[in-house]
Structures are given as C-alpha cells and as structure tokens.
Structure 1
Amino acid sequence: MRRPPANHFDEALIGRIVDAATALDDDPACRVILLASEGRHFCAGADFGGGDFAVDHVAAAERLYRRAAQLFDLRTPIVAAVQGTAVGGGLGLACAADFRVAEAATRFVANFGKLGFHQGFGLSVTLPGLIGTQKATDMLLTARRVGGEEAFRIGLADRLAEPGRVRDTARALALEIAASAPLAVRSMRATLRGDLAARVRQALDHELAEQRVHWATKDSAEGIAASLARRAPVFTGE
C-alpha cells in the first residue's frame, strides 16, 4: 500500500490488492503473500474526511466489502507486516491475513465505538477468532489502543519484531512458510479455515446493515466529526 502516511483505503485500493493477490494465488511459484505498506502506519482504514466515504458512507462500504470478501477466498497464506497503527478497517485488513508481525510501537485499534458505528471489514468473525470473544469485546467496546507487546501476548500478533525490523521479520516468517511443502500448506490451511469465507461474507452483510443504521444517527456524525477534528467526542445516544 502506497498512500503514506496513514494509508487510508477505499474500494479501488482494496480491489488492486485483491487482484494482485489473486494473480499470485494462481502462480505456482508463489507460496506466500507478504502484505505491507509504506509510511509510518500500516493502514488507517476508511477516510471519512475525503474520497468515496466522505460522499456516501453506505455506498462506499458496500463496494469495499464486496471486494474485501474476496480476500478470504485466496488459497495462499498471507503475512502482514504491521508497523505504526492498524486502526478501524485497517485492523480488519490486518486480521484478514493469516499472520501479523508487529513491533512494540505498533498499535491495533478497533475505534468504531468512538466513531459511533458498528465494526466492519469482517472483524465480527476474524477478531474473536484470533483473540477470543472476551478480548475482542474489550477492544471493540473500549476502542482502546493495543500495543505490539500486548498484541503478541494475546495472539493478535504472531511475531514481535525488533524496532524497525517489522518488514524483515515478516519476510523471515514468510520464508519459513515457503520452505514447507506448498500443496500440504494449502491443504492444511483450507482445513483449519473451514467455512471462514462464508462466515465473513455473512458477517459483512450484517455489519453493513448495522452501519447503515448508525451512520444516520447524531452520535455517528459526532464521532466522525470529532475524529477529523482530533477532539474527544460527546455522545448523547441519539
């Protein structure tokens, strides 16, 4: 991803990632996909201050989720190198990977509650699948920042890199996986994932339906405005 420093995504960017990954998925020479980004941060999710999401939240999310669902159809393992912050939908993108590599300074943030709307990008399935329902509920309801060390401790990060070595450590993990028998790797992965793709698609439909309701509320307008203004939101339950 090359939209530094925040690397906000939209349907076009996720679509390019999906298309590139699908091409690699069909290449027998590719055994692992490394998902990385330029700049200080991994991905800040949707940009509500500009682009498609600023014009029409629902339409933009609907297009985005249709493409994002295709990430879960891939047969090749994905390793995400997560530097800086993975926030909101950016956290969802990181959780779509099989493995996440972080450093102590990395921050994982499910900030949806502070924006006034339901979580998205399939996090209803992927986040509790990684860290358990209780810890996922903690992250979602508090919207707190989870640092790299805690993320590693609770299973949200699979490797904890030395400072400034996230990309190198992610590549090393990818090479470990690539050294295993590729047919066996894909088979084992498919068995362990089971019906994950179908469950994520079902979750995306539900998440979008909830978001559609919340984006029409005063609280959501306040949460997004406060985030753009870098101030604390004041919610009224309306």
Structure 2
Amino acid sequence: MNLREATFHVCPNGVAEFTHQRPEARNALSMAMRQDYRDMLERVENDRAIRALILSGAGGSFCAGGDVKGMANLHAAGAPGGACRSRISADHHRWLDRLRSLDVPVIAAVDGPAFGAGASLALMADFVLASTRASFCMVFAKMGMVPDFGAFHTLPRLVGLAKAKELMLTARRFGAQEAQALGIVYAIHEPAQLLDEARRLAARLASGPRDAMGMIKNSLNRSFDTDYRTLAEIEAHQQAVAMSLPFHADAVQRFVRKEPLAYDWDRP
C-alpha cells in the first residue's frame, strides 16, 4: 500500500500496524495523513485476513493533533468560510466512524503526546496502551477551538460528563497514570516495550472469533443511544448469526471433548 505520511503492514498472524510517520512534526494530522487513514481503512474493511489493528506513531510521539502550521498557511491565504470548514469536518467524521466501527479490535499504542485530535483519535480505539512518558491533552480551548474528531461522543462515555467538562474546559495536560485511573488507558508500559506489548495484546485478540467480536463492538457502540428493546432485538439477531458460524460449532465440540478452547483469555 502506497501511503504518504504513514506506514502500514500486516503480520502473518493477522495483526495490522498503521504508524504515523511525521516525527519532525510530532505526527500532526496533515491532510495527507488523513487520506492515509482512508486508504488504510479500505484495506482493513475488505481484508478478512486482518483480525486486529494497531495505531502508533514514530519518533516518540503518537499524534500532536491538527497541523497548526497548515492552519497558519490557510489563514495567510485567506481561510475558507464556515460552510467549507463544516464540510471538511463532516468528511473527517465519515472515516472516523469507519475506524470506530471496524469489526476487528483496534489498539492505540500511545508513546509521547496525544494532544487535541491525536487524543481524540486514541479514544476511537478499543484499547489504549500508553508508555510511561505518554501524555494526553484536550488542547482545543487553548487554540480557541472546540474538541473534534469525535471527542464530544467518546470522552464523556469513558470518564463521565463532569470530568469531560473539566478536561475540555481547562485544556490541561494529564499523564498515563491519570489516564489509566480515568479508564482511558488499559495498560502502561516502558517506551521500549510498548509496541511489543501492543503486538502481544493484538495477537491474543486476533485469535478470537472475528464475526462475533465485530458484532459485540457494534452493539456496545450503540448501547448508550439505544433503548433496551431495540438492543434486545439486535442481540437476538446477532446471536442467531454467531451460533450459525464455524467458530461456535468448533468451540462447542472442543467443550464437549474437554479440549482447550481456541479463544480463552484466562488460559496462559
């Protein structure tokens, strides 16, 4: 895959890795990198061999947020009007929703800063692993902006409304330990071990039932906005599909024969 400001490869075990490659700009989200996300998502959505995805950044930064230098150039050239900016934002949300809705587990390996849109991007992952030097910041208010890249949806659901208001309105920086205490970060590792630990976690998740896990993600993503009866109907449909698939049949036979299950998180 020919990307512009990111790299992408798929390991034999089905784990795909997408890495931001703008270390000189702390991996700020340029328009080219956003297009790289679209291209990567097209591949992941259509490749059944991919069973987990890792997002990371090169050079000791996950993503410093929007490309402020690019914003300065736009202002100097005569910034586009509100309607144009709204269309651009709507386009971003189309690929962000695709990222959030992927039917494979997504892991963000955050080393260094995840600021602004970079923090919002990490929140789109199912698991956030952070290095000991990782830091997060809803920096938007400092720049006279409002949080974007879906943060109004994701952050309150993770940390609660009051804490989301505090983090967004103060625009303060917080580290990996606080992020873990808030429920944002799944685990913290030393910088040198972070990517290996992300790969280890991804490999374990990749051994699970892709179809069932995709349906679980879909239902959980809708759970805060859907009434009980509708979710019950979705559950019934998804369970019927899951129980008709080979992974379930194999698990039943393994259980009956008292053999280890193919996907067992508690088994060493």
TM range (shorter): 0.7 to 0.9
> Which is richer in strand?
2
Paired with 1:12 and 1:195, the residues of 2 have a C-alpha distance of 33
Whether 1:11 aligns to 2:39 is no
Q: State the 1:52 CA deviation.
A: 8.3
Paired with 2:125 and 2:183, the residues of 1 have a C-alpha distance of 13
Give 1:97's aligned amino acid.
A
Q: State the 1:196 CA deviation.
A: 8.2
Paired with 1:175 and 1:52, the residues of 2 have a C-alpha distance of 41
Paired with 2:107 and 2:147, the residues of 1 have a C-alpha distance of 23
Paired with 2:56 and 2:117, the residues of 1 have a C-alpha distance of 15
Q: How does 1:33-44 map to 2 (within 5 A)?
A: 33-44=53-64
Q: Which has the higher contact order (CA 8 A, sep 6+)?
A: 1
Q: State the 1:134 CA deviation.
A: 1.8
1:11-36 deviations in whole A, cap 9, x for unaligned?
33122113212312221111101111
Whether 1:49 aligns to 2:69 is yes
Moved over 6 A (4+): none
Whether 1:158 aligns to 2:186 is yes
Q: How does 1:50-65 map to 2 (within 5 A)?
A: 50=70, 54-55=74-75, 56=79, 59=84, 61-62=88-89, 63-65=91-93
1:136-173 deviations in whole A, cap 9, x for unaligned?
11211111111011111111111111242221111111
Paired with 1:2 and 1:172, the residues of 2 have a C-alpha distance of 22
TM-score, normalised via structure 1 length: 0.75
Rg larger for: 2
Structure 1 residue aligned with 2:147? 119
What RMSD, in angstroms, separates the aligned Cα atoms of the two structures?
2.4
Paired with 1:73 and 1:183, the residues of 2 have a C-alpha distance of 13
Deviates more, 1:175-184 or 1:79-88: 175-184
Give 2:132's aligned amino acid.
A
Kept after mapping to 2: 8 A contact 1:34/1:79: yes
Paired with 2:55 and 2:34, the residues of 1 have a C-alpha distance of 12
Give structure 2 stretches of 5+ with no counterpart: 1-19, 226-268
Kept after mapping to 1: 8 A contact 2:30/2:70: no
Question: SS of 1:34's equivalent?
Answer: strand
Pick one of 3, 12, 21 that aligns with 1:2: 21
TM-score, normalised via structure 2 length: 0.67
